[in-house]
Every structure is written in C-alpha cells, then in structure tokens.
Structure 1
Amino acid sequence: MSDSSSSAELATRMRTMIDRLSPGDRLPSSRELIRRYKVGPATVSQAIAALAAEGVVVTRPGSGTYVAAPARRRAGVPDTAWQSVTLADRAVDTRSLAGAVGALPEGTILLDGGYLHRSLQPTRALTAALARAARRPDAWDRAPAAGLASLRGVFATMAGGGVNAEDVLITAGGQSALSMAFRAIAGPGDPVLMESPTYPGAIAAARAAGLRPVPVPTDADGLKPDLLADAFALTRARLLYCQPTYHNPTGAVLAPGRRRQVLDTARAAGAFVIEDDFARHLGHGAPVPPPLLADDRDGTVVHLTSLTKPAAPSLRIGALTARGPVMERLRAVRLVDDFFVSRPLQEAALELLTSPAWERHVRSLGAALRERCATLAAAVLAELPGWTLDRVPAGGLHLWVRLPGGADDAVVADAARRDGVAVSAGNRYFATELPAACLRLGFAATAGHTELAEAVRRLARVDRTLGVSR
C-alpha cells in the first residue's frame, strides 16, 4: 500500500485482520500499522477513528486499540425491521418530486430544474441584504409566529386586493406553505380539486396530508369552469388548488372571463381556493395579471407566494395571505409545526424586497427569461418538428411539449438522461391517468443559450434513435 492510499482502503484491510482476531485482542500499534501498510500517521488515525465509529474497535488512550465485543460491534448495524410493521401504511410518496434516481452524468444539461441558474440569481443583492440584516441588533431574537410585521406588509402590498399585514403569514418557502394550507383546511380522506396537469409538489403534499387529489381538466385558457362545477357537485370537495398565472407545467394564464366564474363556483360550493402564485415575479416583460385574491370579496382565496423561484433556492421565504377564521387556523398550524421562521432570513428578505436592487433584478430577470424561452422554443420547433408546442408562455420557467402519439414520456426522459440532458416526464404532473405523453422542458436552470441549443440537439438525437416522430 503506497503513501497515497486512503484511510478507507486501510480500514478495509484492517477489518480483514480483525476478522481473524477475538474480542478483546489488541491491534498492532500505530507505528506497526504505518510500517506494515506503508501509510502515513494521519491515514492510520483516520482509519482507526472510522472503525471505532462503526463499533468494530475500542480505543483506550495510553493502552492501545482493541477488538470490540460482539454486542458492541452489532450496535453499529441495528435491526430496524420491526419499524415496517409499526409504520404500517403511513408512507409518504415522493416519487413525483424525486424524478429520476441516481446522480446525473457529468456534463448533463438541466432542462428539469425548477430554480434559477446561479447566473440569474441576484447574488450580489442577496449578499448585501444578508449582511445588512445580520448587523441589526435584534437579528437573532425570536421572530413573531406570524412573521415580521414589516415583511408581512410588503407581501400584503404585492398581493393587493385590500389585504393588510394582519392577513399575511410568513412561511418557510412555498412548499411549506402549501403543506400547511392543505392540513389546515381539509382532513384525511377529503377530496381536493386540482388542475390537470398540475405541480407535482402539490400532488405529493395533498397525499401526504391524507387528501385525495381529483383532477379537473384545463385548456389553453386554464381551468374549465363548467367541469369545475361538475367536479364540486360530484365530490362535494371543499378545496380547490390552482395556479392561475403562468401555470406549472403548461404556462397557461386563466382567461379574464373565467376568473370570476372560478371564484363564484368555489363560493357556491362553500369551498376555499388555494391560489399558488409562484410565478408572481417571473413574467417575461409584459404586465403580470393580478392574483385571483384581488377579485375575492368573501375570503374564498388563500393566496400563496414565495421568493425561492425569482431569487434563489435557499431564500426559503414565502407567504400565505387569507382573511377570516382560516387565517387563525393557519397560524395555529404554524405554531404547532415550527413556532416561527428564521428571523435572520426574514430580515434578509425584507432588506432585499425593499431595496432598489430588487426591482432591477425582476426587470433584468424578465428579459433574460424571455430570451431563454424564445431560444428553447425556436430550437424545439426547428429540431423536433414531430413534437407539439402549443404555447410559448409569457412568464414562468418552462415549456410544455406534447410528444407524438404512441410515444412513452418516461422512456424518452430516461433515454434523454442517458444522452446527457435531463427533462421532466409528463406523467409526474397528473394525479390520475395520463391523457397524452408530454415533457416539461425548463429554460432557467441551464448556463445559457448555448446549453439550451445543445440540449435540443441531444433530444433530436434521442428522437431519431427511439423513432419517436415516425
């Protein structure tokens, strides 16, 4: 064994030696191990520490290292089989969130990402905001359970519709807010209506809360109000989850004429509407439609938004906006779940949102997303004529592409992954049967336009290899 051998390799050899010894036997000294295996003192020390952590050996300062007793050695690998019986059917299904299993090959281009590439994040503004927040004398004090009043005020202004800071609850990002809202409003076994297709995280969160996702079809103008009314009547659901603005994955915007219909239909059913407004700051330059909350007169809408998509994944700050007793229920869930959201992160978010840098970032981000979206759409139309792109969205982070009839989206996604491009198979976005094979292609997580064009070239190669467009 050479001087460059790792401590892991030495530990493996030592285990072979230990298997020939008895409990209580003393191992060779560190000096002897160094001589025998031709390694350095640090390598020996690290190997012994690893074996001690496993319970294979016991070290006694001033005396040496000894083979551990069998009971001590078994302790490193506990028998947890009994837990399967106790946990029973309480499994949490995360398959729709996880996507493909395993590490991506080096050089893979990410078209399956749901966050901004580092080059699009306001890194400088975030760093400055965090530094300013950390200098505040109360930065590390406990935050109010509902969140900092000033930050709630900023989110209230964003939401519009006459809401105020008292109507806002700060959350640890959008996914946490979604999980809280599902558990606060509905109970295990209850149905929850959802657009079809929809965000996989919503499907997973609903199922984790014991709810039954019920799909409601959409078209180019978003939810179909007549089918929504039918779904409420058939299921007696008291909850609708929807994304009216730059819907994930299709990019659709709920048509103006349908906004009032959706709200009136939910109100007639005595149901809440969870409005996932994740793309509030992801418009591509044109004015972003106001949230449904702005049209809500009766407290029907529970509005959800977050900063992770337009800023950075680790800025885990979001907000729930609601009026009436449902807000008290949400606050109660927050208190039971985790008391409050990290104050330094709230202070940093407040610094960011109230600085001129934020508006500059939103404008520049919109222009960058518009250009990336156009690049990807043009490449798909040129290189993959058999694939159908019904819409080039005016906001958001994704394109929704329909594959030719007979294609299997999961097979295409797996083949694309092997060829160095990660895409999202459409089956993840449906709570029940898949009406057509689709892929979601993201344009925000790549390094730039060159990668987008190369990704589509690789997809075209996959298309030819599999005969998708035949």
Structure 2
Amino acid sequence: MNNDSSAGAVAESLRRELNRFSPGEKLPSSRALVDRFGVSPVTVSRALAALAAEGLVVTRPGAGAYRAAEDIPSPRVVDTSWQQVALTAEDPDAAPRVVDASGVLSCLAAPAPGVIAFNGGYLHPGLQPEQALGAALARAARRPGAWERPPIEGLTALRNWFGREAGVGPVQVLVTAGGQAALTTALRALAAPGSAVLVESPTYPGALAAARAAGLRPVPVPVDADGVRPDLLADAFGASGARVFFCQPLFQNPTGAVLADERRRQVLDIARAAGAFVVEDDFARRLGHGGSLPAPLITDDPHGTVVHVASLTKPTSPSLRIGALIARGPVMERLRAIQVVDSFFVPRPLQEATLELVGAPAWPRHLRAVAAGLRERRDAMVGALRDRLPHLAPETAPGGGYHLWLRLPDGTDESALTAAALRAGVAVAAGRPYFPAEAPAPYLRVTFADTGGPEEITEGVRRLADALTGLAV
C-alpha cells in the first residue's frame, strides 16, 4: 500500500471515531497513532493534515491534534439546474466543445487498497527517483533568486537542455507545465475551432480530450506495427482539409509501435505537401528498455513542419510537471502567447529543481534503473500472459514504454470485462476510449510500470484470467 492510500485509511478510521471526542478535546498522540495503525509518522501526519483541511481537527505545533471546536455546518443545497442550459446552449454554427476526461481519469484514478494497478500511466513509486528529487528540490531552494519570476519562455539553461536532444537552440524551446499542457497549447495554437485534426487510431485519450475541448474534430488515421500508415495519412489530409497531425512516433500509446525508418520521411513530406503541422508527442523518450532509439522526428525536419512535445514527467514523477514545446519559425510566438494567456509561466522553483535533477550524477543512474525495471516488468507480464492467457499475449514485446495492447476475442464486452477484472482485484483500461471513432475490435491496455515487480504482475494476470473465465461462464 502506498503512503497516500495508507494515510487515507488512517484518516477514514479517525473520521469515524471523532464523535468519541468532545469539541476541543485532544486526540491520541502521533506516536500512539503510529503504534496503533502500524504506519510511519509521515503517514499519520498526512492523515491529520487531511482531517485538518476538512475542518474536523485542529493541529497545534508541539501540542498535538484536537477535535475542532465547532462542527462543520451542512452545505446549503442550491438549485443549479440552470447550468445545464448555460453549458449547452451554443451558436448552432459554432463547433461543440466537449470536455470528456473519462479516458484520462481512468489512468489517473488510484485503485482501492489491494487492487493491482494495470491501468496506471506513471512509474511505480519504487521506480521514481524520490531521493534524487528531494535532494534536487532542496538544492534548488538555495539557489540565488529561486523564487524570482522566471523568463516567460523558461530558464535558458533548461531550454538549452531540452533543445540539445532535438538539435535546436534555446530560442526554439518553450518550457511548459508537463506534456499534457504542451499538447493542449499546441492544438489550440495550430488549429481553429471547428477544424479537423488528424490523429493516429488508436491514440492517447488525453489528445482526444484536448482536441475536443478546443472545439476540434479528431479524424482517425490507422496505425499498424510500423506506426501510422502514410497512404491513409495522405488520404485523410485530402478528405478533411486538416492542417494538424498528432502522432507518437516512439512507443506509441497504446500500441507500442515505433514509426519505421522508411515512413519518417514520408510522414513529413505528406504533411508539408498539405501545408500542415506534425505535433510529435515524444513522451516515451526516456522509457526505453535498453538499446539505441531513433532520433526525434524533429531532427529530420528542416522546414518547421514538426512541433515537438517533450516531457520529464513519465520517467520521474507525476508531480514533476515539466515539459517543453520545440518548434521553428513564427509558430513559436503563437505557442508562447497562448501559454502566457493561460498560465503566465512555469514556476521557477520547479524549473530550478529540474535543472538540479538532470545535472546530478544520479540522473543517468536513474535512467538505467528505469530501463532495467521496465524491462523486467515487461518480461514478467509477457511471460505471465503466455502462461495464463496465451491467446492474448503479444507476438513480440515492445522495446520501450510501459504498456501492452491486447486484442480481445471478437464479441468481448470491454466494459463488462474491466468491471469483472476490478471485482477480481486488478484494474485494466478498456480499449474503446483510445479510438477517435468506431473501434474495429475490442482491446485492453495493460500497464506494467505502476507495479511492484514480477510477483505482483504474475498475480495480476492470474486475476485477469479469472475475470475472463468468469465472464465466459
């Protein structure tokens, strides 16, 4: 059980017991709570902080925690029915803006205690560089001017670091608050509301949600084992009039495909002929399982066709919301302007901490540990699938990323299966949210990154097999 879920369990237990205490009465000491629940002092502190945030307890440094003197009044019930009209009444000629975050939330939701997370989108805490992050944050806090306003585009040293891999200078780099923020900014900058945006099919649900929230129409372009199909990409540009194509050339989410060498130039040539941008989401750059990786697509682009999205969140921690947009030409000014309007800039302490992290000797060691940890977990999941569910096991294992894309038998009810799996104690992601239009077949996406290791993965696959068996009965 992770610290957050442990703290939640302690807080829930104390919440049920508060009526035993009079208003203003002192609760048991932190040491007593540590002994009682068998958790760390940090977990107890987080539980009490959660109750304090709800107004149920008051903490006094050096004195302890007390039940709040007054009960929280019941919230007033108000009639908000009018909002249903206000949120949907639009100009009939305007593009509808649908904000559907369900596909993203399914990967962000923390499973209940005891449930094995095959649906996560981030590294397990055991793979995150928690000590290195803490040390980097502490060093950053001591940097001169750490709390001063940063340059709008980001710290020059950090922009240089991001730009080096893409072969550009800092002028072509804009620091963002993570990859999702970069993607949202790019789509708003490059496509007008109501227009089409081409996306791989299947694709990352967060891209679909961002596009629809901006009033764009996602148009699918099928993907095979070698990435997006260039022939269908050219057809889609011609039929839709789109001026943007969103893709993930490296370890694509969810298929794990890597864009084949011979297709890289074709994709760029097709987009350039259409007068369109290619938004390259390079989220998995530091999630390889060992071996060499192809260079970012932007390195093959001398014409400013590619707008590159980089992120450090996936290989570190969900809370290190640092990414970058990299582009050549006047489009950078558009990207910069939209970010300024939305959020001004990325907080300087976070940028300083990122510089401390990637400049430390611990950084390359961490990346090697991530590669080894993901490779071990990938092999365990593939092996367990071949043992328990051989008809679902992939023929080849991906060389990077953190998930497998499983083709289910025709006629399988994805929703029923995911619900049955959850009842069996394993959380998986249904394939339907990854398709911008009708899905050609039922799928599951299962992740191995947010697990404790091979033993947990083997048990999770066993539970998934039980769920499938129960569904067939």
User: Which residue of structure 2 aligns with residue 359 of structure 1?
Assistant: 364
**Residue 202 in 1 paired to residue 207 in 2?**
yes
Match of 2:79 in 1: 79
The answer to whether structure 1 residue 147 and structure 2 residue 154 are counterparts is: yes
What is the SS of the residue equivalent to 2:309? strand
Q: 1:108 aligns with which of 109, 115, 122?
A: 115
Aligned in 2, Cα 1:10/1:424: closer, same or farther, shift over 3 Å? farther
Secondary structure of the residue aligned to 1:178 is helix
Find the counterpart in structure 1 of residue 427 from structure 2: 422
CA contact (8 A) 2:107 2:119 kept: no
For residues 180-237 of structure 1, give each alpha carbon's deviation from its aligned partner in whole angstroms, at most 9, with x where no partner exists: 0000111111100000000000000000011000000111100000000000000010
SS of residue paired to 1:275: strand
| Residues 1:174 and 2:186 aligned together | no
The whole-number CA distance in structure 1 between the counterparts of 2:175 and 2:207 is 19
1:454 counterpart SS class: helix
| Counterpart residue identity of residue 288, structure 1 | L
1:8 and 1:297 map into 2 onto residues whose CA distance is 70
Q: Aligned to 2:136, which of 129, 143, 158? A: 129
Indicate the residue corresponding to 1:193 in structure 2: 198
- Cα distance, 1:430 vs structure 2: 0.4
Does residue 50 (structure 1) correspond to residue 61 (structure 2)? The answer is no
* Consecutive unaligned residues in structure 1, runs of 5 or more: 12-41, 56-75
| 2:396 equivalent to 1:391 | yes
The aligned counterpart of 1:28 is: none
What is the CA–CA distance in structure 1 between the aligned matches of 2:98 and 2:177, rounded to whole Å?
Answer: 23
Structure 2 contact 382–393 (Cα < 8 Å) conserved: no
**1:198 and 1:10, CA in 2 relative to 1: closer, same or farther beyond 3 A?**
farther
C-alpha contact 1:173 1:307 (8 A) present in aligned 2: yes
CA shift, 1:108, in A, is 0.2
| Residue 96 of structure 1, CA deviation | 1.8
The alpha-carbon deviation at position 368 of structure 1 amounts to: 1.2
**TM-superposed deviation, 1:77:** 2.6
Aligned mates of 1:379, 1:451 — CA distance in 2: 11
Provide Cα deviations, 1:274-325, integer angstroms capped at 9, x if missing partner.
0000001000001111110010010000000111100110000000000111
Say which SS state the counterpart of residue 290 (structure 1) adopts. Answer: coil
Percent identical among aligned pairs is 58
User: What does 1:321-340 correspond to in 2, within 5 Å?
Assistant: 321-340=326-345
User: What runs of 5+ residues in structure 2 fail to find an aligned partner?
Assistant: 1-15, 24-65, 90-96
Asked if 2 retains the 8 angstrom alpha-carbon contact of 1:173 and 1:318, the reply is yes
Question: Which whole-Å CA distance do the structure 2 matches of 1:462 and 1:221 have between them?
Answer: 32
Aligned to 1:6, the other structure's residue is in SS state: helix
**Aligned to 2:72, what secondary structure does the other structure show?**
helix
- Separation (CA, whole Å) in 1 of partners of 2:118 and 2:107: 13
Give 1:461's aligned amino acid: D
**What residue is the counterpart of 2:43 in the other structure?**
none
Contact residue 268 and residue 305 of structure 2 kept, 8 A = yes
Query: Which of these residues, 2, 18, 36, is aligned with residue 6 of structure 1?
Result: 18
Larger Rg: 1
- Taking the aligned partners of 1:104 and 1:156, their CA distance within structure 2 comes to 37
Cα 1:405–1:157 change in 2 (3 A) is same
**May I ask how many residue pairs the two structures share in their alignment?**
410
Q: What is the CA–CA distance in structure 2 between the aligned matches of 1:330 and 1:454, rounded to whole Å? A: 46
Change (3 A) 1:257 1:101: closer
Q: Which residue of 1 aligns with 2:229?
A: 224
Q: Write the mapping of 1:298-447 to structure 2, written as runs, cut at 5 A.
A: 298-447=303-452
Does structure 1 retain, via aligned residues, the 8 Å contact 2:271–2:305? yes
Cα–Cα, structure 1 residues 148 and 404, in superposed 2: closer, same or farther, change >3 Å?
Answer: same
Secondary structure of 1:405's partner? coil
Q: 1:390–1:401: 8 Å Cα contact kept in structure 2?
A: no
Q: Is the 8 A contact 1:267 1:300 kept in 2?
A: yes
Query: What RMSD, in angstroms, separates the aligned Cα atoms of the two structures?
Result: 2.0
The one-letter code of the counterpart of 1:136 is: R
Shift of 1:388: 4.5
Q: State the alpha-carbon separation in 1 of the partners of residues 467 and 410 from structure 2.
A: 16
Residue type at the aligned position of 1:99: S
Q: What is the CA distance between 1:9 and its match in structure 2?
A: 11
- Say if 1:246 and 1:395, in contact at 8 Å, map to a contact too: yes
